[in-house]
Structure 1
Amino acid sequence: MLADVKQSVQVRLLPTPEQAAALLATVRGCNAAASWLSAQMHAVGEFRRFDVQKRFYAELRERFGLAAQPTIRVIGKTVDAYTVLRANLGAGNYGPPGSARRLKVESRPIVFRADGGQPFDARCLSWQLGEAGREGTVSIWSVGGRLRNVRIIGHSGQLSLLRSRPIGEADLIHRGGKWLLHASVDSPEAPRKEPVNGFLGIDMGIVNLATTSDGNRMSGARLNRYRRRQQRLRRRLQAKKTASARRLLKQRRHKEKRFAADVNHQISKRIVAEAERTGRGIAVEQLAGIRNRVRLRKPQRAKVHSWAFGQLGRFLAYKAAQAGLAFVQVDPAHTSQQCSDCDVIDKKNRRSQASYVCGRCGFVGHADHNAALNIATRGAVNWGEVMRPNAAPPLTAGQGGSSKPVGPRSRGTDAIRLFLPAASS
């Protein structure tokens, strides 16, 4: 049975001034309630949803004047925030136990921004979407009563998804004076296609945003130039310290983010189309926690921390699911140091950002292309292990040596098929 793919759809609300005031009071009231509840949960050490609801539901409703279902949503939002916090603590993202940063995080309750997003479900928010056109209306709960016929606009493709798919939870967001709804819709996953021709490996970076195992490179020069220009403009406006400069800064604060998202959409669309055309799956590096692993000089930190590699990975994942392509994440260790011909690992082989020269077999190539070839091979191995979890693991190099698979590399279709399930060969 095919699973549904969760997809986020963004539309914009066009409330009247009275409706906007009611929405603002609603968001601020819900976030004030969430911050109060967070302090109570932290004080008593109670974080399970059922126990929190049983203990604080009545007081929360009475204290902040919330209706029944919005109160449940505030409780769920606060409990989910602590679930994420505990996961980050367990993963060591705030440092080891006993460190100053970790102790600071653990000692304070979570505080929600006054204008932070607020989730609504079908009992708090209903949609009225016409058969055609770009507009519709919503009916939404507020602290001052139900707001009806609040106009919405959006891209025709986004609205068509809302008309044709079941709509789940929606987040009400106030950003830059604009009101947005981020709705979750269920899109049916396409029938899964076996990667009969192997995997298309993707190496992500800063100089080249994405390099495929076919040797195609999506340069990051345009995006990096745009970011440098935005940085210069921000610096100049911040130095003026005038009201008009602050207004311009506020207007421009999301431009770079939108530009980077558009570039990532274009890159991911090209990669998925190429993999679908050639009958392959998509393999990428598992990049979680890269900011904690990588040590950088101060001038490099801003560039790396603004690099939207996680977003590109998410775009690839959901577009691959919609196209029915196999998508795997592989261990990133030594992908840029390992030779794609002879498997030897030596950091000296990578002579520069772009140059890779193997000191053992003499292989010469672009470093990012070499890494993408390694990722493609590991993707095939991982896919075979997923499809045949009880099968014997692939052969490895001699005892005490590397645990890399022994056998043909990822350049030929037949070599890849050796690592795939028998049904796909």
Structure 2
Amino acid sequence: MKLTAQIKLQPTNEQATALTRTLRAANAACDFISAVAWNTHTFGKFALQKLCYQDVRAQFGLSAQMTVRALAKVGDAYKLDKKAQRTFRPLASIAYDDRILSFNLNELSVSLWTLDRRQTIPFVCGERQRAMLATRQGESDLLFHRGMWYLLVTCEVQELPPQDVDDVLGIDLGVTNIATDSDGTIYSGRTVKGVRYRHRRLRNKLQKKGTLSAKRRLRTLSGQEARFAKDVNHVISKQIVSAAEHTQRAIALEDLKGIRTRIRASRQQRTILHSWSFFQLRSFLSYKAQRAGIPVVSVDPRNTSRTCPACGHIAKANRPNQSRFTCVQCGCAGHADTIAAGNIRVLGRAAVIQPYVSDGGATSPAPETSRRLEACGL
């Protein structure tokens, strides 16, 4: 599977100037190519190469391969959207491949092409990223972000073969509790919620102030909150995958695509909902599980929090508040998120576990799965 290793470059002032000049020239070339594409209605990178390859090299001083990368960048941009002419930020990232970039992992340095000849620049990274670099494959993106230079390196990481699973670990994702599994483990979102609340109040004050120092502080706050949430999502996803791996279980998640537009919520709830990184946690779970050889299945989220696991009765009244589930028909009660995770597990088992073949040759779900499906009215 392909993963991205982020490494931090440590250029000298002269090297940083060369990198900046190269970014500006490459993105100016992209704007030039984009204008040609838009005016001639030519959007394929090979057709564009015939039209303006020589002009780009002569006008912007790019190497042959950097010109090819610029043409590919414009072609890829128009693949996404041909409704408007595409433009490129002066310091937007640019892609390097092995013809214009090479690594020395022993000395932790990288050699890359710039307008001012090739530059050999040292870099720093963690042990995990260093191990990933040994499997480097494909392109690397040169990125300038808040005064720092980075390379985002595509690596081909070997994944384990799929495990034979005996059961499923259901995961209910939420806002108050970031995740709850069908074993009853709750990953609370209280700390994340508190940090976001404090940051939101501080942002409001700084936005009203409007000074240059306030704007600088706002940029710093944005990065702090994003890094904090990312770290929390990494920790939670690692713990969930570890629990599934050690018990030979698949992972079942709700398909929450489009949830922000589907549900009705108050203004305060919308703020919390839109700041919750659904996709990030789910993507972390998916790639970590894939590396460990653990199957991941998506299930229909409808009524998972309203279905009684004992009698199968579905009602909005079964969940009188955010944390409590009490079936109005049979009285079955428990933590609402744990109940939902259990229902997700049942749906996941139906999708993952192989059908059970009885002595008479009839095919049906495995006995335990069958009982749970019946209990949920499925």
1:137 aligns with 2:109: yes
Contact 2:241/2:288 (8 A) holds in 1: yes
Per-residue deviation, residues 339-386 of structure 1 (Å, max 9, x unmatched)? 333444333323222222333443322222222122222222222589
Match of 1:333 in 2: 302
The DSSP-based 3-state class of the residue aligned with 1:109 is coil
Matched, 1:150 2:150: no
Partner of 1:187: 157
The alignment covers a number of residue pairs equal to 367
**Does 2:16 correspond to 1:20?**
yes
Aligned residue number for residue 62 of structure 1:
58
Q: In 2, distance between residues paired with 1:52 and 1:346? A: 59
Q: Which moved more, 1:296-305 or 1:212-221?
A: 296-305
**Conservation of the 8 A alpha-carbon contact between 1:192 and 1:324:** yes
Give unmatched runs, 5+ long, in structure 2. 356-361
Q: Is the deviation greater in 352-361 or in 315-324?
A: 352-361
- Are 2:42 and 1:72 aligned? no
The Cα of 1:213 is off from its aligned counterpart by 1.0
* Secondary structure of the corresponding residue to residue 282 of structure 1: strand
State whether residues 29 and 64 of structure 1, in contact with CA within 8 Å, keep that contact through their aligned partners in structure 2.
Answer: yes
CA deviation string 1:10-48 (max 9, x = no partner): 110011111111111222222222233334434444433
8 Å contact kept, 2:250–2:352: no
User: CA offset at residue 144 of structure 1?
Assistant: 2.8
Determine whether 1:318 maps to 2:287: yes
Displacement of 1:153: 0.8
Any residues of structure 2 matched to 1:128-277 within 5 Å, and which?
A: 128-130=104-106, 136-147=108-119, 149-162=120-133, 164-196=134-166, 198-277=167-246
In 2: Cα distance, 1:22 partner to 1:190 partner: 42
The 1:59–1:345 alpha-carbon spacing in structure 2 relative to 1, beyond 3 Å, is: farther
Residue 125 in structure 1 maps to residue 101 in structure 2: yes
Q: CA shift at 1:393, angstroms? A: 10
Structure 1 pair 410/226, CA: closer, same or farther in 2 (3 Å)?
farther
State the distance in 1 between where 2:229 and 2:196 align: 9
Residue identity opposite 1:69 in structure 2: Q
- Equivalent residue for 2:270, pick from 301, 306, 313: 301
TM-aligned CA deviation for residue 322 of structure 1: 1.7
Partner of 2:370: helix, strand, or coil? coil
Shift of 1:306: 1.7
User: Residue 382 of structure 1: SS of its match in structure 2?
Assistant: helix
**Alpha-carbon deviations, 1:82-127, whole Å to 9, x = none?**
33448xxxxxxxxxxxxxxxxxxx3x22322222221211112111
Given that 2:173 and 2:179 are in contact with CA atoms closer than 8 Å, whether structure 1 keeps it comes out as: yes
> Of 17, 25, 29, which aligns to 2:25?
29
**2:370 is aligned with what amino acid?**
G
Over the aligned positions, Cα root-mean-square deviation in angstroms equals 2.8
2:88 equivalent in structure 1 = 112
Counterpart Cα distance in 1 of 2:149 and 2:252: 37
Letter in 2 for 1:284: L
Name the residue aligned to 1:408: 371
The Cα offsets for residues 202-248 of structure 1, whole Å up to 9 and x where unpaired, read as 11111010010111110100011111112223333333333433333
Counterpart in 2 of 1:418?
Answer: none
**CA distance 1:111–1:160, change in 2 (3 Å):** same
User: Counterpart of 2:146 in structure 1: which amino acid?
Assistant: G
Cα distance change on mapping 1:360 and 1:178 into 2, 3 Å:
same
SS in structure 2 of the partner of residue 236 of structure 1: helix
- 3-state DSSP class of the match of 1:7? strand
Q: Cα 1:21–1:352, aligned 2, differ >3 Å: closer, same or farther? A: same
**CA-to-partner distance for each residue in 1:282-339, whole Å, 9 max, x for gaps?**
1112223322323433333332222112111111111112211112222223322333
Q: Deviations over 1:389-414 (max 9, x none)?
A: xxx9978xxxxxxxxxx9322899xx
Retained in 1: the 8 A contact 2:165–2:353?
Answer: no
* TM-score, with length taken from structure 2: 0.87
Q: Distance in 2 between matches of 1:42 and 1:370?
A: 55
Output the amino acid matched with 1:191: P
Q: Are 1:372 and 2:335 matched, yes or no?
A: no
Q: Go from structure 1 to structure 2 and tell me whether the alpha carbon gap of 1:278 and 1:40 turns closer, same or farther (over 3 Å shift).
A: same
The superposition leaves residues 250-273 of structure 1 with CA deviations (integer Å, 9 ceiling, x where unpaired) of 333311111001101110111011
For residue 91 of structure 1, what is the aligned residue in structure 2? none
How far apart are the structure 1 equivalents of 2:169 and 2:235? 17
The answer to whether the Cα contact below 8 Å between 1:176 and 1:250 also exists between their aligned partners in 2 is no
